[in-house]
Amino acid sequence: MRAKFIVTKVAKNTCSTCEQGISSIELEMKPVCPSTFGPKGEHEDNDFHRWSPSGEFKLMITNPALYDKFVEGQAYYMDFTLAESK
């Protein structure tokens, strides 16, 4: 399954003794909602919004290599693959 989410919040938690001065970032994302459509109502975001009209994804990231990878207002695809549970 694939979903398309847009970043609504990136909050950096500061730390004076941490690498890059940041201890973690808090990331919030919501499913996309189209803002414009083609002449027949087509738009990739419309396809995603039709099946996932609302929701929220929150994540705390502590990997310094990822601190600058997420930008508010930017959309990202999220792929869901079934994992074995033990």
CB 46 within 8 A of CB 24: no
Residues 61, 78: Cα–Cα separation, whole Å? 16
The residue with greater pLDDT, 7 or 19, is: 7
Distances (CA, A) of 28 to 33, 34, 41, 43, 70: 15, 19, 28, 24, 10
pLDDT tens digit sequence for 10-68: 999 998 888 788 999 999 999 887 666 566 666 666 666 666 667 899 999 999 999 99
pLDDT band with cut points at 50, 70 and 90 for residue 71 = very high
pLDDT at position 20: 80
Q: Please give the model's pTM, rounded to 2 decimal places.
A: 0.73
Q: Residue ranges per domain, the chain?
A: 2-79
